[in-house]
Chains A and B, each alone.
Chain A
Amino acid sequence: MPLLDIKDLTVSLFQDGAETPLVREISYSVEPGEILALVGESGSGKSVSSLAVMGLLAKSLRVTSGTAHFEGRDLLALDPEEMRKLRGRQMSMIFQEPMTSLNPVRSIGAQIMESIEENLGLTRSQARSRAIDLLKEVGVADAERRLKQYPHHFSGGMRQRVMIAIALAADPKLIIADEPTTALDVTIQAQILDLMARICRDHGTALILITHNLGIVARYAQRVNVMYGGRIVEAGTARSLYSAPRHPYTDGLLQSVPRIDQDRSIPLRPIQGSPAAPFMAIPGCSFPPRSPYGTARCQTEVPAYRDGVACHTPLTLKTAEAV
């Protein structure tokens, strides 16, 4: 049984009497212990779909259809209290901005211990020693002294380590990390992601890694979902997706990034135009205005998601070479 199983999930924004779907009928699953990447650009729905899983949607956002099961339990049927218990103990989340996700007026120790006491029901002193162990595990030196310090005493990388410690407090089965290193320098990014990968390996924790960085996906993820316009347009193992992308969008993304491992004189092939705004109702596939392969059918009919790709004209090796 997969750890997390999502089927046909749709999340809509309700504003000014209008309903705008931001996530459209996405389906995917996460196996225990694996690292799955959600890749896409701003507005692709990668964060909103994960917030829906965590039960953390803003008031104006609602799941309008579909199901989400965690270890067989229907997440969408849980009442807020049951959801709160699941969150933290079974699954936890790490956000992009370690500056804003920690409380600036409470000590680091209090914030880690809060999570431990709440989720594990330990006493104060037990929680304290667990907090010290956690800080050591995430590579914060001099843990006992640092426990008394406040977020502003910590650098960005160190704050993100603290967030990881809090997420790990109850040894959850699933961690969702939303752009965990986007705000960090590249050498610190490597430290943090190496740490998260090691923790997943050691604890058997599954990780959903939300990122826009194709290099991070290649280095750390086993499987990838590519999202565009609220839909998963392609999914597969990192290896198959990178070596033979089938959706023109995935191919376009891979052709747009300058690569540190290839000849620098290879010109970039950007995707033309801008991503479609979710407010624009587009019949058919939302990518054709930007796709070099679009046909008449793409304009009228939403492509079904089949065998890992949602496209009327998926790339084969032949079409990829012709362009």
Chain B
Amino acid sequence: MSALLRIEDVSVHFPVRKGLLQRQVAEVRAVDQVTLSLRKGEAFGLVGESGCGKTTLARTVLRLVDPTSGSIWFDGTNVSALRGKSLAPFRKQVAAIFQDPFSSLNPRMTAGQILSEVLHVHRYDGRIRDRVKELLGLCGLAPRFVDLYPHEMSGGQRQRVGIARALALEPELIVCDEAVSALDVSIQAQIINLLEDLRAQFGLTYLFIGHDLSVVRHLCDRLAVMYLGRIMETGTSEDIFSSPRHPYTQALINAVPAPDPFGEEQRKHVALKGEIPSPLNPPSGCVFHTRCQIAADVCARRVPPLNWLGPQHAAACVAIDNPNHPTP
């Protein structure tokens, strides 16, 4: 399978300006030298805690943020070089679903208006009203929803409208930014199943951003774990969850409680110490070394490269396969 999306050595740095003259006093390295590729038809997850850069990376892929360096290739075209009108075909092929179905839908527009607006803008050649009903149907909403406003719907129904809007132009890639995080457990399961069904039906590719590891593991074939703008580990869901190699990935998985009182009693809990450092002033060397249980002197000096451990599995840690590295 060929790569549909390639993120090549992308960095996104935001300047921090201060004072009357708005001089740049610092910069936030939201995303630092990230390289990833998504195959057509796969669901790829980006996980990490707040400030890890997962949302900035997603916004860069959507071309809502310009990368400071590096390039983004979609279907063989360097889209990070495109500007203005030349972006239109790309925008048709890439859609987004956001976290908050309350703020991502215009409260003054009915579901029908929200969906037909997208079709109008991109000059859909067909009967818009029919297509709107079809889209609602695909997302499990009855035709009567055409005339309903967002406040007349539940959170789950609103998220279905958001998904219908993303599907409107038959995109290749959908970026899902915390698409199920704001929903109640029982509704979340409905939306997860809907996303899975739609992917199977239309051969969609997902870039799924989430902080809930259980959800990402369930939905995604492969994923990358980010911390302070960098990729710590990437691999298939099986690689990452059955044999995590990076100490951060291990701690992250350990922190997620499983809904099983018996299993939880057996499990050894090692809470990660300390807080996530400020991305304004990230630690030197490996950004994780300040919270790492096995950090050595070298970790504060050298940025570890992503090392391949298997055909799809890579991790950025100097301790891996190094018998001389100290253990906790």
Contacts and interface: CB of A to CB of B under 8 A. Distances in A.
A binds B: yes
Interface of A: 41-42, 155, 157-158, 185-191, 194, 212-220, 238-239, 242-243, 252-261, 264, 267-272, 274-275
A213 B269 contact: no
Interface of B: 49-50, 154, 156-157, 184-190, 192-193, 211, 213-215, 217-219, 237, 241, 251-264, 269, 271-272, 275-276
Contact of B264 (A218, A243, A269): A218
A199 to B, nearest CB: 14
B264 A219 contact: yes
Contacts of B219: 258
A190 B262 contact: no
A256 B154 contact: no
Nearest to B263: A261
Contacts of B193: 267-268, 270
A256 B188 contact: yes
A255 B189 CA distance: 9
Contacts of B262: 239, 242-243
B220 to A, nearest CB: 9
Contacts of A214: 185, 259
Given A264-B218, A268-B192, A271-B189, A187 B251 contact: yes
B259 A191 contact: no
B259 A215 contact: yes
A195 to B, nearest CB: 9
11 contacts: A186-B49, A186-B213, A186-B256, A187-B252, A212-B184, A214-B185, A216-B257, A257-B189, A259-B258, A270-B189, A271-B186
B49 A260 contact: no
Contacts of B192: 258, 268, 270
Nearest 3 pairs between A and B by C-beta? A215-B257, A270-B189, A258-B218
A259 B271 contact: no
Nearest to A185: B49
Contacts of A259: 214, 258-260
A220 B260 CA distance: 11
Contacts of B251: 187
Given A190-B271, A264-B217, A256 B49 contact: no
A158 B272 CA distance: 14
Contact of B186 (A41, A158, A186): A41
Contacts of A220: 257
Nearest to B273: A191
A138 B261 CA distance: 26
B92 to A, nearest CB: 31
A220 to B, nearest CB: 8
A258 B217 contact: yes
B261 A239 contact: yes
A158 B154 CA distance: 34
A111 B13 CA distance: 38
A120 to B, nearest CB: 30
A207 to B, nearest CB: 16
A185 B184 contact: no
Contacts of B214: 215, 257-260
Contacts of B187: 41, 270, 274
